[in-house]
Amino acid sequence: MEHNASHLDLQLEEYLCYLYLCMASADMYILDAELDSIKNAVRNVLSRHFPNSKADVGVIVNGLVEANVRETEEQKREKLNAISKNHPLPFAAKMQIMDDMNVLMHSDKNLSPGEIAMFAFIRECLLEKY
């Protein structure tokens, strides 16, 4: 239970980075170009919808990426479900994130079943549950 409690206190910026990393790692690997895209996408969401954020997105992504790729899909889903409750987002931010997820999912030109499943799960968390 401690593990669950530890991820519930992620800050908004960490949550957004983790969300994008889950999508990028759904095909079992993350390309350097995907990491750059994630950093830019999170910065764009923050500047547009949370302009007071001063977080260093690059540092956050780099700090989360190693743990993210070691987690199972089930662990990622449990974590996303739990922390999504703590970070309700404006609808416009959710739509921007889903557009970014679609681009990220297609960035390597190969769609895996894992990517499709993670995209559907993230959409459910953002648009249907919270």
- 2-55 residue pLDDT tens: 333 445 457 999 999 999 999 999 988 888 888 999 999 999 999 999 999 999
Residue 43: predicted pLDDT: 98
Cβ–Cβ < 8 Å for 84, 125: yes
Q: Please, what are the domains in the chain?
A: 2-129 (1.10.3680)
pLDDT single digits (tens) 114-128: 999 999 999 999 998
